[in-house]
Chains A and B, each alone.
Chain A
Amino acid sequence: MAREVPEINGGSLADIAFLLLIFFLVATTMDIDTGITRLLPPEPEKDQQTEVRVNKRNVLVVLINRSDRLMVGGEEMDPSYLKAKTLEFFTNPANNPNLPEMEETEIQFPPGSSPLLPPDGVWRGLVSKGVISLQNDRSTTYGRYLQIQNELVAAVNELRNDFCELYFDKSFDELNTSDPYEEEIYDGIRNIYKMNISESEPKNIEGLN
Protein backbone atom coordinates (compact mmCIF):
# COMPACT_ATOMS: atom_id res chain seq x y z
CA MET A 1 0.00 0.00 0.00
CA ALA A 2 1.75 3.06 -1.29
CA ARG A 3 1.62 6.11 0.89
CA GLU A 4 0.97 9.23 -1.04
CA VAL A 5 3.84 11.69 -0.95
CA PRO A 6 2.54 15.23 -0.61
CA GLU A 7 3.67 17.33 -3.56
CA ILE A 8 5.72 20.41 -2.82
CA ASN A 9 4.39 23.56 -4.35
CA GLY A 10 6.91 24.72 -6.89
CA GLY A 11 5.22 27.96 -7.70
CA SER A 12 7.67 30.10 -5.80
CA LEU A 13 10.73 28.44 -7.27
CA ALA A 14 10.87 30.98 -10.05
CA ASP A 15 10.81 33.82 -7.54
CA ILE A 16 13.67 32.34 -5.56
CA ALA A 17 15.72 31.84 -8.69
CA PHE A 18 15.02 35.39 -9.80
CA LEU A 19 16.20 36.70 -6.47
CA LEU A 20 19.47 34.79 -6.76
CA LEU A 21 19.86 35.93 -10.34
CA ILE A 22 19.47 39.55 -9.38
CA PHE A 23 21.94 39.14 -6.55
CA PHE A 24 24.56 37.86 -8.96
CA LEU A 25 23.79 40.57 -11.47
CA VAL A 26 24.48 43.22 -8.87
CA ALA A 27 27.41 41.69 -7.01
CA THR A 28 29.57 40.56 -9.90
CA THR A 29 31.34 42.17 -12.81
CA MET A 30 32.01 40.92 -16.27
CA ASP A 31 34.40 43.53 -17.60
CA ILE A 32 37.70 42.21 -18.87
CA ASP A 33 40.54 44.62 -18.51
CA THR A 34 42.20 45.67 -21.73
CA GLY A 35 45.32 47.70 -22.23
CA ILE A 36 48.85 47.98 -23.50
CA THR A 37 51.24 45.69 -21.70
CA ARG A 38 54.79 46.91 -21.25
CA LEU A 39 57.82 45.81 -19.31
CA LEU A 40 59.51 48.22 -16.94
CA PRO A 41 63.30 48.20 -16.88
CA PRO A 42 64.71 46.85 -13.60
CA GLU A 43 65.98 49.42 -11.17
CA PRO A 44 69.67 50.09 -11.73
CA GLU A 45 72.04 48.88 -9.04
CA LYS A 46 73.68 51.54 -6.92
CA ASP A 47 77.21 51.00 -8.20
CA GLN A 48 76.20 50.19 -11.73
CA GLN A 49 77.14 52.67 -14.40
CA THR A 50 73.86 53.33 -16.19
CA GLU A 51 75.28 55.13 -19.16
CA VAL A 52 75.37 52.94 -22.21
CA ARG A 53 77.16 54.15 -25.26
CA VAL A 54 74.79 54.05 -28.18
CA ASN A 55 75.57 55.35 -31.61
CA LYS A 56 73.65 58.56 -32.22
CA ARG A 57 72.04 57.37 -35.41
CA ASN A 58 70.51 54.44 -33.54
CA VAL A 59 68.46 56.56 -31.18
CA LEU A 60 65.22 58.39 -31.87
CA VAL A 61 64.36 60.77 -29.08
CA VAL A 62 60.65 61.32 -28.55
CA LEU A 63 59.90 64.16 -26.17
CA ILE A 64 56.53 65.23 -24.82
CA ASN A 65 56.64 68.58 -23.09
CA ARG A 66 54.50 70.07 -20.36
CA SER A 67 51.95 71.46 -22.79
CA ASP A 68 51.58 68.04 -24.46
CA ARG A 69 53.48 69.01 -27.58
CA LEU A 70 55.59 66.39 -29.28
CA MET A 71 59.16 66.64 -30.47
CA VAL A 72 60.68 63.78 -32.46
CA GLY A 73 64.36 63.67 -33.32
CA GLY A 74 64.78 67.39 -32.69
CA GLU A 75 61.78 68.73 -34.57
CA GLU A 76 58.21 69.34 -33.57
CA MET A 77 55.74 66.87 -34.99
CA ASP A 78 52.03 66.17 -35.02
CA PRO A 79 51.26 62.81 -33.34
CA SER A 80 49.54 61.55 -36.48
CA TYR A 81 52.91 61.38 -38.28
CA LEU A 82 54.67 59.52 -35.49
CA LYS A 83 53.72 56.04 -36.66
CA ALA A 84 55.11 56.58 -40.16
CA LYS A 85 58.26 58.09 -38.69
CA THR A 86 58.70 55.10 -36.39
CA LEU A 87 58.20 52.65 -39.23
CA GLU A 88 60.85 54.43 -41.27
CA PHE A 89 63.17 54.51 -38.27
CA PHE A 90 62.91 50.78 -37.62
CA THR A 91 63.15 49.62 -41.23
CA ASN A 92 65.53 52.17 -42.76
CA PRO A 93 64.37 51.25 -46.28
CA ALA A 94 66.74 53.57 -48.18
CA ASN A 95 69.79 52.65 -46.10
CA ASN A 96 70.05 56.23 -44.93
CA PRO A 97 73.24 56.84 -42.90
CA ASN A 98 71.24 58.96 -40.42
CA LEU A 99 68.82 56.13 -39.65
CA PRO A 100 69.75 53.10 -37.50
CA GLU A 101 72.27 50.49 -38.52
CA MET A 102 70.88 47.19 -39.71
CA GLU A 103 72.55 44.06 -38.46
CA GLU A 104 72.79 40.76 -40.33
CA THR A 105 70.99 38.22 -38.13
CA GLU A 106 69.90 34.60 -38.24
CA ILE A 107 66.66 33.61 -36.55
CA GLN A 108 65.47 30.05 -36.18
CA PHE A 109 61.89 29.25 -37.12
CA PRO A 110 60.34 25.78 -37.04
CA PRO A 111 61.68 23.88 -40.08
CA GLY A 112 59.21 23.73 -42.95
CA SER A 113 56.88 26.27 -41.40
CA SER A 114 56.90 28.61 -44.35
CA PRO A 115 57.55 28.19 -48.08
CA LEU A 116 59.51 31.46 -48.05
CA LEU A 117 62.08 30.10 -45.62
CA PRO A 118 64.85 27.62 -46.47
CA PRO A 119 64.06 24.02 -45.41
CA ASP A 120 66.03 24.31 -42.16
CA GLY A 121 63.79 27.17 -41.08
CA VAL A 122 66.53 29.73 -40.52
CA TRP A 123 65.63 33.28 -41.48
CA ARG A 124 68.57 35.44 -42.55
CA GLY A 125 68.06 39.14 -42.81
CA LEU A 126 68.63 42.57 -41.40
CA VAL A 127 67.51 43.53 -37.90
CA SER A 128 67.46 47.14 -36.81
CA LYS A 129 69.62 48.28 -33.92
CA GLY A 130 67.38 51.30 -33.36
CA VAL A 131 66.12 52.33 -29.95
CA ILE A 132 63.37 54.83 -29.26
CA SER A 133 63.89 56.94 -26.19
CA LEU A 134 60.61 58.22 -24.82
CA GLN A 135 60.79 61.12 -22.41
CA ASN A 136 58.04 63.08 -20.75
CA ASP A 137 57.62 65.98 -18.37
CA ARG A 138 55.96 65.63 -14.98
CA SER A 139 53.12 67.82 -16.23
CA THR A 140 52.46 65.89 -19.42
CA THR A 141 48.96 64.45 -19.25
CA TYR A 142 48.67 60.70 -19.08
CA GLY A 143 46.24 60.63 -21.99
CA ARG A 144 48.79 62.17 -24.34
CA TYR A 145 51.55 59.94 -23.02
CA LEU A 146 49.51 56.82 -23.72
CA GLN A 147 48.57 58.09 -27.15
CA ILE A 148 52.26 58.38 -28.01
CA GLN A 149 53.02 54.95 -26.53
CA ASN A 150 50.17 53.60 -28.61
CA GLU A 151 51.57 55.04 -31.84
CA LEU A 152 54.99 53.52 -31.15
CA VAL A 153 53.52 50.12 -30.28
CA ALA A 154 51.26 50.32 -33.34
CA ALA A 155 54.27 50.78 -35.62
CA VAL A 156 56.07 47.73 -34.25
CA ASN A 157 52.88 45.67 -34.30
CA GLU A 158 52.37 46.56 -37.93
CA LEU A 159 55.87 45.41 -38.85
CA ARG A 160 55.36 42.14 -37.01
CA ASN A 161 51.96 41.62 -38.50
CA ASP A 162 53.15 42.23 -42.05
CA PHE A 163 56.01 39.78 -41.60
CA CYS A 164 53.71 37.18 -40.10
CA GLU A 165 51.17 37.50 -42.88
CA LEU A 166 53.81 37.37 -45.59
CA TYR A 167 55.59 34.30 -44.23
CA PHE A 168 52.94 32.40 -42.29
CA ASP A 169 49.71 33.63 -43.86
CA LYS A 170 48.29 34.54 -40.48
CA SER A 171 48.01 37.69 -38.44
CA PHE A 172 50.43 38.10 -35.56
CA ASP A 173 47.63 38.43 -33.02
CA GLU A 174 46.24 35.05 -34.00
CA LEU A 175 49.39 33.17 -33.02
CA ASN A 176 48.62 30.95 -30.08
CA THR A 177 51.52 31.21 -27.64
CA SER A 178 50.47 28.20 -25.58
CA ASP A 179 51.32 26.00 -28.58
CA PRO A 180 55.12 25.44 -28.67
CA TYR A 181 55.22 25.44 -32.47
CA GLU A 182 53.47 28.77 -32.82
CA GLU A 183 55.32 30.15 -29.84
CA GLU A 184 58.60 29.62 -31.69
CA ILE A 185 57.23 31.64 -34.59
CA TYR A 186 55.99 34.29 -32.18
CA ASP A 187 59.34 34.60 -30.42
CA GLY A 188 61.20 34.62 -33.72
CA ILE A 189 59.17 37.51 -35.07
CA ARG A 190 59.55 39.33 -31.80
CA ASN A 191 63.31 39.05 -32.18
CA ILE A 192 63.24 40.42 -35.71
CA TYR A 193 61.16 43.45 -34.77
CA LYS A 194 62.02 44.26 -31.18
CA MET A 195 59.93 46.62 -29.11
CA ASN A 196 62.91 48.83 -28.34
CA ILE A 197 61.22 51.64 -26.49
CA SER A 198 63.25 52.89 -23.60
CA GLU A 199 61.77 55.15 -20.99
CA SER A 200 64.27 57.41 -19.40
CA GLU A 201 64.52 58.07 -15.70
CA PRO A 202 61.94 60.73 -14.91
CA LYS A 203 63.10 64.30 -15.08
CA ASN A 204 61.71 67.69 -15.85
CA ILE A 205 62.12 68.78 -19.39
CA GLU A 206 62.36 72.48 -20.00
CA GLY A 207 59.31 73.77 -21.78
CA LEU A 208 59.73 73.78 -25.50
CA ASN A 209 57.16 76.43 -26.14
Chain B
Amino acid sequence: MSKFRRKKGKGLQRINTASLPDIVFMLLFFFMVSTTMRETEVQVRVTVPEATEVKKLEKKSLVSYIYIGRPVSHVARMYGTEPLIQLNDKLINEEGIPYESVQDFVLFEREKLPEVDKNRMTMSLRIDQNIPMGKVDDVKQALRRAKALIINYSARKEYQEQGRRR
Protein backbone atom coordinates (compact mmCIF):
# COMPACT_ATOMS: atom_id res chain seq x y z
CA MET B 1 0.00 0.00 0.00
CA SER B 2 1.59 3.14 -1.08
CA LYS B 3 1.31 6.28 0.86
CA PHE B 4 1.37 8.33 -2.27
CA ARG B 5 -1.86 7.59 -3.86
CA ARG B 6 -2.59 9.07 -7.18
CA LYS B 7 -5.21 11.70 -7.06
CA LYS B 8 -8.44 10.64 -8.50
CA GLY B 9 -9.42 13.15 -11.14
CA LYS B 10 -6.61 13.14 -13.65
CA GLY B 11 -6.24 15.87 -16.26
CA LEU B 12 -5.25 19.48 -15.80
CA GLN B 13 -6.75 21.99 -13.48
CA ARG B 14 -8.98 24.28 -15.48
CA ILE B 15 -7.69 27.83 -15.62
CA ASN B 16 -10.26 30.38 -14.73
CA THR B 17 -10.84 32.42 -17.86
CA ALA B 18 -13.36 34.83 -16.43
CA SER B 19 -10.87 37.69 -16.53
CA LEU B 20 -9.74 36.99 -20.09
CA PRO B 21 -12.21 39.44 -21.67
CA ASP B 22 -11.03 42.14 -19.29
CA ILE B 23 -7.43 41.60 -20.27
CA VAL B 24 -8.23 41.60 -23.96
CA PHE B 25 -10.35 44.73 -23.63
CA MET B 26 -7.51 46.44 -21.88
CA LEU B 27 -5.19 45.59 -24.76
CA LEU B 28 -7.84 46.75 -27.19
CA PHE B 29 -8.20 50.13 -25.51
CA PHE B 30 -4.45 50.52 -25.43
CA PHE B 31 -4.23 50.04 -29.16
CA MET B 32 -7.25 52.24 -29.84
CA VAL B 33 -5.69 55.10 -27.92
CA SER B 34 -2.08 54.83 -28.98
CA THR B 35 -2.41 54.23 -32.71
CA THR B 36 -3.85 56.12 -35.61
CA MET B 37 -5.76 54.87 -38.59
CA ARG B 38 -3.78 53.90 -41.64
CA GLU B 39 -4.84 56.49 -44.17
CA THR B 40 -2.68 56.09 -47.19
CA GLU B 41 -1.49 53.21 -49.21
CA VAL B 42 2.02 53.97 -50.36
CA GLN B 43 2.34 53.10 -54.01
CA VAL B 44 6.01 53.90 -54.37
CA ARG B 45 8.87 52.06 -52.77
CA VAL B 46 10.55 54.26 -50.20
CA THR B 47 13.55 53.47 -48.04
CA VAL B 48 14.36 56.67 -46.23
CA PRO B 49 18.03 57.38 -45.49
CA GLU B 50 19.58 57.27 -42.06
CA ALA B 51 20.66 60.33 -40.14
CA THR B 52 21.85 61.10 -36.63
CA GLU B 53 20.13 64.43 -36.03
CA VAL B 54 16.53 63.32 -36.48
CA LYS B 55 13.72 64.67 -34.35
CA LYS B 56 10.20 63.43 -33.86
CA LEU B 57 7.41 65.26 -35.61
CA GLU B 58 5.24 66.44 -32.80
CA LYS B 59 1.72 67.07 -34.04
CA LYS B 60 0.59 64.49 -36.53
CA SER B 61 -2.44 66.49 -37.63
CA LEU B 62 -0.15 69.20 -39.03
CA VAL B 63 1.79 66.82 -41.21
CA SER B 64 1.08 65.93 -44.81
CA TYR B 65 3.17 63.43 -46.65
CA ILE B 66 4.93 63.56 -49.98
CA TYR B 67 6.45 60.32 -51.17
CA ILE B 68 9.01 60.05 -53.94
CA GLY B 69 10.25 56.69 -55.10
CA ARG B 70 10.13 54.07 -57.78
CA PRO B 71 6.63 52.56 -58.10
CA VAL B 72 5.81 49.16 -56.60
CA SER B 73 5.37 46.38 -59.11
CA HIS B 74 1.60 46.58 -59.77
CA VAL B 75 1.79 50.35 -60.23
CA ALA B 76 4.88 50.04 -62.40
CA ARG B 77 2.85 48.16 -64.96
CA MET B 78 0.81 51.31 -65.55
CA TYR B 79 3.35 54.07 -65.02
CA GLY B 80 6.73 52.53 -65.83
CA THR B 81 9.66 52.38 -63.47
CA GLU B 82 10.70 56.04 -63.42
CA PRO B 83 10.52 57.75 -59.99
CA LEU B 84 7.03 58.97 -59.15
CA ILE B 85 5.65 61.52 -56.72
CA GLN B 86 2.78 60.62 -54.45
CA LEU B 87 0.95 63.32 -52.49
CA ASN B 88 -0.70 61.73 -49.42
CA ASP B 89 -2.55 59.03 -51.38
CA LYS B 90 -2.60 60.40 -54.89
CA LEU B 91 -0.01 59.60 -57.51
CA ILE B 92 0.73 62.52 -59.76
CA ASN B 93 1.77 62.40 -63.33
CA GLU B 94 2.73 65.90 -64.37
CA GLU B 95 5.38 66.82 -66.84
CA GLY B 96 8.22 69.04 -65.61
CA ILE B 97 7.97 70.76 -62.25
CA PRO B 98 4.63 69.74 -60.67
CA TYR B 99 3.54 73.26 -59.75
CA GLU B 100 -0.19 72.71 -60.21
CA SER B 101 -0.61 69.40 -58.43
CA VAL B 102 1.41 70.57 -55.46
CA GLN B 103 -0.44 73.87 -55.31
CA ASP B 104 -3.80 72.09 -55.25
CA PHE B 105 -2.56 69.63 -52.69
CA VAL B 106 -1.20 72.32 -50.36
CA LEU B 107 -4.40 74.37 -50.59
CA PHE B 108 -6.53 71.29 -49.89
CA GLU B 109 -4.44 70.21 -46.90
CA ARG B 110 -4.24 73.72 -45.49
CA GLU B 111 -8.02 74.04 -45.69
CA LYS B 112 -8.38 71.07 -43.36
CA LEU B 113 -6.38 72.69 -40.56
CA PRO B 114 -7.85 75.03 -37.93
CA GLU B 115 -7.11 78.73 -38.42
CA VAL B 116 -4.37 78.96 -35.79
CA ASP B 117 -2.38 76.10 -37.26
CA LYS B 118 -2.57 77.13 -40.90
CA ASN B 119 0.95 78.50 -41.03
CA ARG B 120 2.45 75.63 -39.05
CA MET B 121 1.64 73.03 -41.67
CA THR B 122 4.56 70.67 -42.18
CA MET B 123 5.31 68.72 -45.32
CA SER B 124 7.11 65.51 -44.58
CA LEU B 125 9.17 64.39 -47.55
CA ARG B 126 9.54 60.64 -47.50
CA ILE B 127 12.03 60.09 -50.26
CA ASP B 128 13.91 56.99 -51.27
CA GLN B 129 17.63 57.33 -50.72
CA ASN B 130 18.54 56.38 -54.30
CA ILE B 131 16.33 58.93 -56.04
CA PRO B 132 18.24 61.63 -57.94
CA MET B 133 17.87 65.11 -56.48
CA GLY B 134 16.32 66.51 -59.67
CA LYS B 135 12.89 65.20 -58.70
CA VAL B 136 13.34 66.46 -55.14
CA ASP B 137 14.40 69.91 -56.32
CA ASP B 138 11.28 70.07 -58.50
CA VAL B 139 9.06 69.33 -55.52
CA LYS B 140 10.91 71.84 -53.36
CA GLN B 141 10.46 74.54 -56.00
CA ALA B 142 6.76 73.72 -56.23
CA LEU B 143 6.41 73.84 -52.45
CA ARG B 144 8.08 77.24 -52.36
CA ARG B 145 5.63 78.56 -54.90
CA ALA B 146 2.74 77.07 -52.93
CA LYS B 147 4.13 78.76 -49.79
CA ALA B 148 4.44 75.54 -47.83
CA LEU B 149 7.84 76.29 -46.39
CA ILE B 150 8.18 74.02 -43.37
CA ILE B 151 9.49 70.72 -44.60
CA ASN B 152 10.82 67.63 -42.96
CA TYR B 153 13.30 65.33 -44.61
CA SER B 154 12.12 62.03 -43.26
CA ALA B 155 14.95 59.82 -41.99
CA ARG B 156 15.55 56.92 -39.72
CA LYS B 157 17.53 57.36 -36.55
CA GLU B 158 21.08 56.18 -36.94
CA TYR B 159 23.00 55.37 -33.82
CA GLN B 160 26.66 56.25 -33.95
CA GLU B 161 29.06 53.55 -32.88
CA GLN B 162 31.43 55.73 -30.92
CA GLY B 163 28.58 57.66 -29.29
CA ARG B 164 28.28 61.36 -28.62
CA ARG B 165 31.09 63.24 -27.00
CA ARG B 166 29.25 63.53 -23.73
The interface of chain A, by Cβ under 8 A from chain B, is 10, 13-14, 17-18, 20-21, 24-25, 27-30, 32-43, 136-143, 145-147, 149-150, 153-154, 157-158, 165, 173, 199, 202
The 0/1 profile, CB within 8 Å of A marked 1, for residues 113-133 of chain B is 000000000101111111111
A135 to chain B, nearest CB (A): 10
Task: Identify 11 new A-B residue pairs, CB closer than 8 A, beyond the known A37-B57, A37-B151, A38-B152.
Answer: A20-B28, A28-B31, A32-B57, A33-B152, A34-B157, A37-B55, A39-B151, A40-B149, A137-B133, A153-B53, A199-B140
**Which residues from chain A contact B31 at a C-beta distance below 8 Å?**
21, 24-25, 28
A-B CB contact pairs (8 Å), 9 listed: A27-B37, A28-B36, A29-B38, A36-B155, A37-B55, A37-B152, A138-B134, A142-B132, A149-B153
Does A40 lie within 8 Å of B49, measured CB to CB? no
The interface of chain B, by Cβ under 8 A from chain A, is 17-18, 20-21, 24-25, 27-28, 31-32, 34-38, 48-49, 51-57, 60, 63, 65, 68, 122, 124-134, 136-138, 140-141, 143-145, 147, 149-157, 165-166
Chain A residue nearest in CB terms to B131: A142
B86 to chain A, nearest CB (A): 15
Partner of B133, one of A39, A139, A154, A158: A139
Does B55 lie within 8 Å of A14, measured CB to CB? no
A36 to chain B, nearest CB (A): 5
Does A40 lie within 8 Å of B21, measured CB to CB? no
Q: Report the Cα distance A150→B160, complex, angstroms.
A: 13
Partner of B155, one of A20, A32, A35: A35
Total cross-chain contacts (CB, 8 A): 160
A96 to chain B, nearest CB (A): 24
Partner of A34, one of B54, B60, B122, B136: B54
Partner of B166, one of A137, A157, A165: A165
Does B55 lie within 8 Å of A17, measured CB to CB? no
Known: A28-B37, A138-B133, A154-B53. A146 touches B24 (CB 8 A): no
Does A39 lie within 8 Å of B149, measured CB to CB? yes
Does B34 lie within 8 Å of A30, measured CB to CB? yes
Known: A25-B31, A27-B37, A37-B150. A147 touches B51 (CB 8 A): yes
**Which residues from chain A contact B28 at a C-beta distance below 8 Å?**
17, 20-21, 24
Q: Report the Cα distance A42→B150, complex, angstroms.
A: 10
**Which residues from chain A contact B144 at a C-beta distance below 8 Å?**
40-43
Chain B residue nearest in CB terms to A41: B144
Known: A28-B36, A34-B54, A36-B155. A17 touches B24 (CB 8 A): yes
Q: Report the Cα distance A120→B141, complex, angstroms.
A: 44
Q: Report the Cα distance A66→B149, complex, angstroms.
A: 26
